[in-house]
Structure 1
Amino acid sequence: MSDFVVSLCGMTSWPLGVPGLAWGADYNPEQWPEDVWADDVRLMREAGVNLVSVGIFSWALLEPEDGRYEFGWLDRVLDLLHEGGIRVDLATATASPPPWLTTAHPEMLPERADGVRLAHGSRQEYCPSSPVYRRKAVALARALAERYRDHPALAAWHVGNEYGCHVSRCYCDRCASAFREWLKARHGTLDALNDAWATAFWSQHYTAWDQVLPPRATPTYHNPGQLLDFDRFSSDALLELFKAERDVLHEVTPGVPVTTNFMVGWTFSALDYWAWAREVDFVSNDHYTASEDAERHVELAFAADLTRGLAQGKPWLLMEHSTSAVNWQHRNLAKLPGELRRNSYAHLARGADGTLFFQWRQSRAGAERYHSAMVPHAGTETKVFREVCQVGAEYRAVRELIGSTVDARVAFVYDWQSRWAVGQPGHPNADFSYQENVFALYRAFWHAGVTVDFLPPDGDLSGYPLVVVPALYALDSAEPFERYVEGGGRLLVTYLSGVADTRGHVHLGGYPGAFRDLLGVRTEEFFPLGWGQTATLDDGGHVALWTELLHLDGAKAVASYADGPLPGVPAVTRHEHGDGTAWYLACGLSGEGLAKLVDAVLFDAGVPRGPSDVEVVRRRGVVAGSPVSWLVAINHGGGDVELPAAGVELLTGTRVTGRLTVPAGGVVVLREEV
């Protein structure tokens, strides 16, 4: 066991008393007859389960009518789990209010931008500004905390569930009032608000606060400042709900950590998780792969690295992923043999100290009845359950990874608020996607065998030989990046970075605005490409989506357009600044051209490539007072791969001297020799 784990004992930064790497699932015993529960615990022990989340969607059973709590069934569940040696991440059950509550208080239901009030019948049927919902949710959290604060199974608290997944924005009158109060706190005066939102355009100048509304349905484009502030407000409003329950839990059960499950991944963008990550005792994430994506393992790595960034490099928990198919994609493909195992280890490699699933036993009814689980409809004599048991046993063999950190020499700057701002309508090319822009670069680094960290825009850049800044659209000043490059750092910035300030106002004088002097370039006009239109660079690179009429102002051209609308104009530039170098990617470079650029920037920064045919991540930690490093290697291909390595392979106990074989579709965890 690492010294780090010992240091965590009694603190609030990890579920208490979990023996080893966390392994388990959401457990929903209320969906099943009570005579199934004992068998559940028996099978959990067989599968190596040591942590389960309980009660996430059980409000209607815990409080069947206003103020009357029914905890007896939950008492019996927790007692059974404790007797089986299984720790509990106990939910406050506030993820979905019961029908009796929304029927009694229909005003607490959320409203869409077009004024339609949503009804109960699914989940998350609440307005984040509703005082009724908040009062009842906090009361239930307090009742649960007082009931179970001394229960020996309690390891952590799980507040809500996937905040904003279905209702990330509410446009009702309560939210309008709350939005105005939020704006007063942010801007102070109406004059400041009018300036921030540039309301001189389209006669939108406000003369009284009660004129200010959420961005409800309007004839055409909304005010960009209004949209951006409403995104910020909505993220904050949901965060305030989480904090209200968290504070009660901290009050009643000090020392028991509190978390909620984020949704860091490809599609969800409604919350600013940098702000949220500061408010949880440990970071948890839910992640599901896109089953029809042939490189879904690369997107998984992206999400895991970004989650580790939110956790500031500390261990984090994968609260949910799937054992096989989900139920909500257009075509729900089952995972291939070994994919469950590879997915689990990929999260582990990239900083998780535990991986849980949704859910333990596959539901026989309800909206998610075709979502896979640790125990499928077909029972235990299945591919899924055999693989579950295999990984559960293996986690005990690699438990010394606990508390170790991930080795990364490249940092990506990621900004949810820039994602909101550049995703608004009215930009030069509606085909541009912030997420696709970031991921294209990430994928190129992944294929170069390079592990990356993620940082917020105000993150600490020191210690990284290379920092990548994709589409950091909303930025007031590039001064921190200037200091980084002056001190010897290498910086790669992509187009649509630094174009506007954090109000959404365009920096004048030429693009890329705040980065213009650092990059040594000036763009006078964007030249987005039409649908299906491409351009070629003089080094053979292929470009789609975006070009710019760019002028050199100290920088040197690395590659220029050979054709397209701007032949001869620089497309990739390099600028020596102080002791460092700032690169600018001013076009939608893709494929081999992007890979070639990544190789050049890595070489410039002195960062070596890793293997490109197998996923390899290094974790570092301390065992018995001595520093240790581990290589986690995952082979997503169809042939065996050999790596130069020496040490002990933990899954088999085999000593490796010189060459390590990673079997096709397999995983190895090597404790390296120093």
Structure 2
Amino acid sequence: MLPHAGADTCLFRQVCETGEALKDLAEVVGTKVVPSRVGILFDAQSQWSTEIPTLPTTKLDHWHDVRDWYRAFLDAGLRADVVPLAHEWEQHNLLVLPTLFMLSDSAVRRLERYVRGGGAIVVGYATGIVNDAFQVGLGGYPGAGKGLLRTMLGVSGEEFNILGPDETVELSDGSISWLWQTCLTRIADDAEMLATYTGAGAREWELSGMPAIVAHQYGSGRTWYIGCDVRREDITRFICDQLAPQIGLELGDPRVVSIDRASDTHVFHCVFNRSGTDVELCPTGNPVLLARGSHGHDTVTLHANGALITQSRR
């Protein structure tokens, strides 16, 4: 662990600091991360498929959109789990499908059961365009699941509007789209239109008044379809204004990341400062580790990249 620059370096001092911290974490070894109520689905096949140069645009990037949604949840004071599409995700109350370009019929049927049973999903633009054999479903976009995904979402689109460099389209909720808009020509009678395209860009591309974000009740669950790319700050606002109230998600402190780990007898509350500045906290539980921070009277100040771990009985 000794760097090439030697022992008298910031890097080596950080290595030593980490080693000292690990001694205090013996009790945490063997614990399991408590799952978040939110899952963001990732699929390597979809990432590879968005790299194909013959798509409507070469700027699609599944992993980039997964990362944007993950950071947007952090900006809203919430933590989300990134979950492989092929793994278990039914334990989450809300699922986000960002640019999952490929969706098999079996995956759509699994999602349908999840929503019908009370789950909630957010389906992003360029999701469910083709199945796992790279075949486009007929009848409108998104075509995955032989139309089942469209039924769940309460939407149907006919084409994609792809913007050129330095072009944008504004949404009625203030969001900005700069790449892709799915041209939705039909929405279900019981669907709710949350945002439409508006402004000069929408008029130029004949999108004015066309649905951009649609909510739909399906079975005992709920779906949202976001038919265009939007900025990370727009996603954060959508999470705070739409998703959190509907799902009952409690917004936290966006300056920190909070992760709980549990054993049979204790829960360890881990808090990491992501803000780059000092953050003052009022911790609960018994302290296990304080790295890059200082104690006050009933408070703890976490410095940049600082960490605090406390424990409490289950």
* TM-score of the pair, normalised by structure 2: 0.88
Percent identity over the alignment is: 33
User: Unaligned regions of 5+ residues in structure 2, if any?
Assistant: none
Q: Is the 8 A contact 1:646 1:673 kept in 2?
A: no
* Residue identity opposite 1:429 in structure 2: T
* Residue identity opposite 1:637 in structure 2: S
Q: How many residues align?
A: 297
2:255 corresponds, among 613, 621, 642, to 613
Partner of residue 220, structure 2: 579
- Structure label with greater radius of gyration: 1
* TM-score of the pair, normalised by structure 1: 0.42
The CA distance in 2 between the partners of 1:410 and 1:587, in whole Å, is 21
1:526 corresponds, among 144, 150, 160, to 160
**Higher relative contact order structure (alpha carbons within 8 Å, sequence separation ≥ 6):** 2
Q: CA deviation at 1:636?
A: 3.5
* Residue identity opposite 1:666 in structure 2: G
> Aligned in 2, Cα 1:380/1:461: closer, same or farther, shift over 3 Å?
closer
Q: Is the 8 A contact 1:473 1:499 kept in 2?
A: yes
Q: CA deviation at 1:447?
A: 1.5
> Aligned in 2, Cα 1:420/1:649: closer, same or farther, shift over 3 Å?
same
Partner of residue 431, structure 1: 59
The CA distance in 2 between the partners of 1:647 and 1:657, in whole Å, is 15
Q: Is the 8 A contact 1:649 1:656 kept in 2?
A: no
Partner of residue 495, structure 1: 125
Q: CA deviation at 1:467?
A: 0.7
Q: Is the 8 A contact 2:32 2:263 kept in 1?
A: yes
Higher strand share: 2
Partner of residue 455, structure 1: 83
Write the mapping of 1:388-427 to structure 2, written as runs, cut at 5 A: 388-407=15-34, 408-427=36-55
Partner of residue 570, structure 1: 211
| Deviation per residue, 1:515-565 (Å, 9 max, x gap) | 211101000111111111101111111111111210212422111111322
| Deviation per residue, 1:360-389 (Å, 9 max, x gap) | xxxxxxxxxxxxxx2122322222222211
The CA distance in 1 between the partners of 2:298 and 2:118, in whole Å, is 35
> Aligned in 2, Cα 1:460/1:575: closer, same or farther, shift over 3 Å?
same
Partner of residue 552, structure 1: 187
Q: Is the 8 A contact 1:541 1:590 kept in 2?
A: yes
Q: Is the 8 A contact 1:534 1:542 kept in 2?
A: yes
User: Do structure 1's residue 592 and structure 2's residue 233 form an aligned pair?
Assistant: yes
The CA distance in 1 between the partners of 2:239 and 2:130, in whole Å, is 26
Greater mean deviation of Cα atoms: 565-574 or 421-430? 421-430
* Residue identity opposite 1:532 in structure 2: D
Partner of residue 663, structure 1: 303
User: Do structure 1's residue 672 and structure 2's residue 306 form an aligned pair?
Assistant: no
Q: CA deviation at 1:656?
A: 9.1
Partner of residue 640, structure 1: 278
| Deviation per residue, 1:603-641 (Å, 9 max, x gap) | 21112122101222221223xxx2x11222222334321
* Residue identity opposite 1:389 in structure 2: C
Partner of residue 118, structure 1: none
Q: Is the 8 A contact 2:154 2:187 kept in 1?
A: yes
Any idea what SS the aligned residue of 1:612 has? coil
The CA distance in 2 between the partners of 1:655 and 1:460, in whole Å, is 40
The CA distance in 2 between the partners of 1:450 and 1:595, in whole Å, is 10
Q: CA deviation at 1:457?
A: 2.5
* Residue identity opposite 1:409 in structure 2: R
The CA distance in 2 between the partners of 1:541 and 1:570, in whole Å, is 13
> Aligned in 2, Cα 1:601/1:630: closer, same or farther, shift over 3 Å?
same
| Deviation per residue, 1:473-526 (Å, 9 max, x gap) | 212221111111111111001111111111101011100112211101000111
> Aligned in 2, Cα 1:527/1:425: closer, same or farther, shift over 3 Å?
same
The CA distance in 2 between the partners of 1:527 and 1:552, in whole Å, is 18
* Residue identity opposite 2:288 in structure 1: L
| Deviation per residue, 1:569-600 (Å, 9 max, x gap) | 11111010011101011011114322111222
> Aligned in 2, Cα 1:419/1:639: closer, same or farther, shift over 3 Å?
closer
Q: Is the 8 A contact 1:487 1:579 kept in 2?
A: yes
Q: Is the 8 A contact 1:645 1:657 kept in 2?
A: no
Partner of residue 296, structure 1: none
